[in-house]
Structure 1
């Protein structure tokens, strides 16, 4: 796309693509990072689509912020209160990796400490907090080796003392939930949106707990992180909550349980906001009269045809029909019926898309809503990784590859690393071998 890359230009480009692909009436959400141009683009796009009534709930859930980007911003904010002990860890690793002789001396210390040398030390990148976490994890494993090196090398001056090692261990434990969240969000083989609310709420609860119970250096990190967290939490908490409600292992009880612990006295208002948004979204699907699949309708019709028409058309049962018209019986929505059913055991492995496919006949409207909500990409990591794949193939050392060779490399890697593709690729190689 030629410049300028401002919000209005992006909006016009997207609109032209939507028209070309004929999907402007099929949009539910768009996931973007926090660039200012993206915000302008989404606002213009939402207004344009609302004029055509192409969005559900007037685009309330149209703009989804990249959760991975938000988590990164939150933790980076906390890492500004970096502890002196972490700086010592960083300098210690730099010292060990400074020369081959030091590396060998450190390996000798590793052997003397009866530790596994294959794990290795990890140097962090200051702009990537998760690399700092990995660095701390590796340093904690080799703690005894560092202490052994300090005894045998008088030039090694940056080894943390015992109290500093303990602080590093607590900081590492504190960052672990956020690292796990980043791994979940960055996954590509389990993209359904129901997975994220338990992770994010766990991180929020961790911040709240450590702000009260943690040591001073953790509290300083928490204050910064909570301020950044709450800035974005209200933007994406509702849609994440709706997604987890559509998971039969959690449903509404889990959201209510989480909010009781996160908001204490104000949780009733937050729970009501989620419930109102859920039923408001569902009303769009209920008003559209989602049809039962054709094969089910045909089966039901055939059953009716085979039934005795004499009984069905009897005067006695016709009187019942008129009674139903006079007395309006309270009717439960599909969504209420789904929520009233017992939850599935939380610990079982559940393919949630298969679950809703299997239950589309019982809950056609709820399953239609689940289909749209669960497929919301909460993170842009997977798509960005796909688009940056070419950079891992065409580098400065092999930049003259022809397009067919690049295509073959991409496909071969996909076949090799794919679950079913690996088998296919092996069969293909066997076929070529026999030829």
Structure 2
């Protein structure tokens, strides 16, 4: 008598011989058939049923052992085995769900539609679910993609239907690999709880000449498609091109230029203003270009970095249309000064900076650092038009102060200050910027450069509140206001942490503490009560969330909250449109240069908006991934 190996069932049965057609029960000595007449058809189904029917305790032990040994896999019945071998009908719930997930994978991860025909992908899906019959690329592109696009469109229409004020960004992009130009439109708004939202609405094929009339007509079609009347448009962020500016005027919509684009012009003027500065920047470009075009040179530099116990880093080449790329180039170059000096001893470089030039590069980096921080600040997804006036004020203060460290870059610094004054001379008179700054509880009236500009902004805000109050009164919903009580503290996640040590943020804090509002005499009008209460309270920390502040204080300052709802939804740059085109450029690449503009727009639309619809599922996935990572670390 011997025991077979493999299944846990053989802990409870014994075989007279390996090929014997019956097995002996160790509990009751019964001879139980193994099924079939040939050894190839033997199975353990009868043995398991015998335990289940006559020996419940032993059967429970078997189940436990089987789970430990086989990872919880159960013995399949013949019916289950048969069902496992049959394919899902194309319209079944199971097949539809898998197809939907495959399409989600394609659009969210930027995969080509042809991935469904790739051998590796088909093997993976077949391993996970053998009953699923892979869909064709044609079905995905012509049917499933359109259905999903329509579903997401309905979701966004529902989201923006009752929103009273929406801001937009727009831009034009032309493909390098395909004769396609796209005109974009992204929307930004706040919901009833002051949570910011954004969505891509269009990236429409824009054929013909890019005239202001054509742009305005195309833009109107987009607004009509999304059922957005002009009365809902708060502002449109655009680039500074004359055709785009005129198009918005023709449309009858308020628009402002992208602050980041304007700052590009400011820094370019500064870099070109001083011969020594432009020369050393040109020298830096030559050095970086040398390593970019020579793998051997870069390999030698990497060896030197390792010998000096430095982390190997590649040099960064700047792009003329992105001033901050020049800053990053200079920063990386000065960081690798020792390695580059050692390299130049044994190998040739197209240009070698002198000691004075190295010192000048350090000063250029320090001089441009506030502009780099400004650009990062206004380009975040949570930035708004409220960030513009405070950031410009900080820059003016920093560059109007002369120090001993300015030697060698005084002309550059003066030119930068003059360019900021010139290109942002009217920023405090623009209601969009002035009112949004007042309505941001981090800034209020602290960052206006003159008392007159602050007063004009407050008068404009009071006028807007009075108009809103008259509208509310006409609807019969106005209530008398009591003087507001003390504001509850709304702290951001980083409020308890130490403040940033950058000169940019230090100047921010310094200005915030210089000017406090004179309480003055409180008026009995509801508008004056709100303004008096709001401005006599201190500003909240710069690290706090202004949206959370208004979510908490909307009942205390209802009129101000209504204005904040409108003004704080506007971004200050067209960066969102540029990020959209970065996505499009990965979709419409050299391998997919025959993709139609319509198909490219749908893929980009879903890539940007589908994650919002799937947010609950993605959050669960992140929690699961975090939990798995914690378990892996603890096991190590």
TM-score by length of 1: 0.72
Cα 1:414–1:221 change in 2 (3 A) is: farther
Structure 2 gap ranges (5+) = 1-205, 480-522, 626-636
Residue 243 of structure 1 is matched in structure 2 by 436
Taking the aligned partners of 2:325 and 2:220, their CA distance within structure 1 comes to 38
Taking the aligned partners of 1:291 and 1:343, their CA distance within structure 2 comes to 33
Matched, 1:172 2:365: yes
Residue 210 of structure 2 is matched in structure 1 by 5
Contact 2:318 2:329 in 1 (8 A): yes
Deviations 1:328-387 (A, max 9, x none): x7435244234344225415x433223213322222111010011101121111123224
Taking the aligned partners of 2:600 and 2:421, their CA distance within structure 1 comes to 48
Taking the aligned partners of 1:100 and 1:183, their CA distance within structure 2 comes to 32
Deviations 1:70-98 (A, max 9, x none): 11111122222343222222222223344
Contact 1:282 1:366 in 2 (8 A): yes
Equivalent in 328, 340, 354 of residue 548 of structure 2: 354
Matched, 1:41 2:247: yes
Residue 228 of structure 1 is matched in structure 2 by 419
Taking the aligned partners of 1:287 and 1:412, their CA distance within structure 2 comes to 40
Taking the aligned partners of 2:609 and 2:327, their CA distance within structure 1 comes to 30
Structure 1 gap ranges (5+) = 50-61, 260-266, 298-328, 430-435
The residue correspondences of 1:222-301 to structure 2 (distance < 5 A) are 222-237=413-428, 238=430, 239-252=432-445, 254-256=446-448, 259=449, 267-289=450-472
Task: Provide the aligned length of Structure 1 versus Structure 2.
Answer: 367
Residue 80 of structure 1 is matched in structure 2 by 272
The residue correspondences of 1:26-175 to structure 2 (distance < 5 A) are 26-46=232-252, 62-81=254-273, 82-117=277-312, 119-153=313-347, 155-156=348-349, 158-175=351-368
Q: Alignment partner of 1:369: what SS? A: helix
Which structure's residues are more often strand, by fraction?
Answer: 2
| Cα shift at 1:173 | 0.9
Cα 1:413–1:378 change in 2 (3 A) is: closer
Higher Rg of the two aligned structures: 2
Q: Alignment partner of 1:361: what SS? A: coil
Which structure's residues are more often helix, by fraction?
Answer: 1
Deviations 1:114-153 (A, max 9, x none): 2111x32112223322111111111111111111112223
| Cα shift at 1:107 | 1.8
Taking the aligned partners of 2:211 and 2:601, their CA distance within structure 1 comes to 35
Cα 1:103–1:38 change in 2 (3 A) is: closer
| Cα shift at 1:69 | 0.9
Higher RCO, Cα 8 Å, sep 6+: 1
Taking the aligned partners of 1:167 and 1:420, their CA distance within structure 2 comes to 52
Q: Alignment partner of 1:289: what SS? A: helix
Taking the aligned partners of 1:31 and 1:408, their CA distance within structure 2 comes to 20
Cα 1:290–1:23 change in 2 (3 A) is: farther
Q: Alignment partner of 1:234: what SS? A: coil
Contact 1:250 1:346 in 2 (8 A): no
Q: Alignment partner of 2:256: what SS? A: strand
Aligned-residue Cα RMSD (Å) equals 3.6
Q: Alignment partner of 2:316: what SS? A: coil
Taking the aligned partners of 1:224 and 1:293, their CA distance within structure 2 comes to 56
